[in-house]
Amino acid sequence: MKKYIIPLLLILLGCDDFGDINTDPNNPTQVPVSGFLANAIHSLPGYENGLTGLYYSQYWAATQYTENSRYDVSQFDFTGIYSGPLNALETVIDYNSNPETMAFAAESGSNANQIAVAKILQSHFFIHATDRWGDLPYSEALKGSENLAPAYDTQEDIYNAIFDDLDEAINQFDNGAAPSGDILYNGDIEKWKKFANSLKLKMAIRISNIAPEKARQEFEEAVSDGVFTSNADGAFYQYLGDGVFDNPRYDDFLTRIDNAVSKELTDVLNNLNDPRLKAYADPINPNEPDTYEGIPFGLDNSAASDYAYDEVSLPNSSLVISKAAEIPILTYSQVLFFLAEGAEKGWNANGSASEHYNEAIKASMEQWGVFDQSIYDDYINHADVKYESENAMKLIGTQKWIATYLQGYEAWAEWRRLGYPELLPAPAALNNSGEIPRRQGYPSSESQNNAANYEAAVSRQGPDDLDTSVWWDTE
């Protein structure tokens, strides 16, 4: 796996298209197409595990310099997603589509398979981006110097286009060689197909309150075509832990401790006697292994300073912030919760809501290495866990939040859609409304460099602040 990871500088290449790269096969400085794919995949955990997402979902709380956890930042830069992984993936597609470069590109796998994987990954990154910002450049994006001021597509149009893109990608796979830059699934095409269908499943549930007919159609198509069926199918980014490709959280906590597990998380898991707590956090006192207590979320700097580092639980040192700790991207337990919700709506989910819900909890416990049959049996019969249709969305929302630990932006998106668990805003919030953000603001560069399209998006979507809801957010 290591041989495919190339310096991160490559993902910053601002190429207009494949023509910006020297394609002379005799030139020793030529960049293998596999490198662009590997670098895009290498970008996945940085976005999935972003610190702001961990704050918004209240998995972690700041112990000092608490402003970010109190919503003081209203504008967030999305240009890195475009110039980094999205551009790298567009380069893969360009190389494998142009007759002049297809033969060279095929040295990294069949042209069709590379394009399919690149389209699936682009879909993932665009879902991540539009769920954060709402309307975004999509149909006119990634054109380089051909279009430096792309129009914004509505989130509804982006979602509809991604459904089509994923279908196209799934159907594009052939029997040729798998992409050699695939450091996520190591060339397993069947898992890429399941990943694509599982993305469709997630998207369908995401829009189910605003576009129920479209949601049901896409949901049932994904189920029929094949989504994740075990933890082995899930997408996880595995850091090498070799001193070069380490989990960046390891260095964060090695040099300073700015964050701890939130009290909001430890309270929920302590109250449920949830076995995942010991995988998510370290005990306050290693000599008292059952002492877990997080720091209250959203405190000002003065209040946070009252908590010493040895008085609160930090993220688990071996499973969460170690050098080789893996980052979940899309998991089997998530898919099962989506299936449970679809079944509760009366859609064809190949099983009942309660079956999928219970299996999702089991899959999450197995994922974190804490499954024990007797503990699990007691857990799913706990009064605050046992499935019942009357409280389905509360139960699914709360358990999904527990299961998507470390996937902060994903958990925040689902919290916005479902409203569970019942999180409270930061008590020392710095944003105007004092409420948990519903979206992130566009970067200031857009109002300066792409003013007409920026203003059109704001006029259509609503004020460019943290309180405007994205299209699918009807909660």
pLDDT at 18 over 50: no
| CB distance 461 to 468 below 8 Å | yes
Does residue 421 have a cis peptide bond before it, meaning omega lies within 30 degrees of 0?
Answer: yes
Instruction: Please state, in angstroms and rounded to a whole number, the distance separating the CA atoms of residues 94 and 79.
Output: 20
* Tens of pLDDT, residues 42-63: 999 999 999 999 999 999 999 9
pLDDT for residue 254: 85
Pick the more confident residue, 257 or 133. Answer: 133
Q: What angle do CA 398, 402, 406 make, to 5 degrees?
A: 135
| CB distance 209 to 414 below 8 Å | no
Please give the backbone phi and psi of residue 240, each rounded to the nearest 5 degrees, phi first: -80, -30
Q: Give whole-number Cα distances, 319 to 208, 258, 302, in Å.
A: 34, 19, 31
Residues 6+ apart with CB under 8 A from 39: 5, 6, 8, 10, 11, 85, 88
pLDDT for residue 3: 29
pLDDT for residue 2: 29
pLDDT for residue 287: 87
Q: What is residue 437's three-state secondary structure? A: coil
| CB distance 148 to 77 below 8 Å | no
pLDDT for residue 200: 99
- Which among 39, 130, 150 has a CA at the least distance from the CA of 89? 39
When pLDDT is cut at 50, 70 and 90, the band that residue 11 belongs to is very low
When pLDDT is cut at 50, 70 and 90, the band that residue 286 belongs to is confident
* Tens of pLDDT, residues 273-282: 999 999 999 9
pLDDT at 346 over 70: yes
* R_g (Cα) of the chain, nearest Å: 22
* Tens of pLDDT, residues 136-189: 999 999 998 899 999 999 999 999 999 999 999 999 999 999 999 999 999 999
Architecture of domain 33-69+77-243+325-461: Alpha Horseshoe (1.25)
* Tens of pLDDT, residues 19-33: 333 444 444 456 899
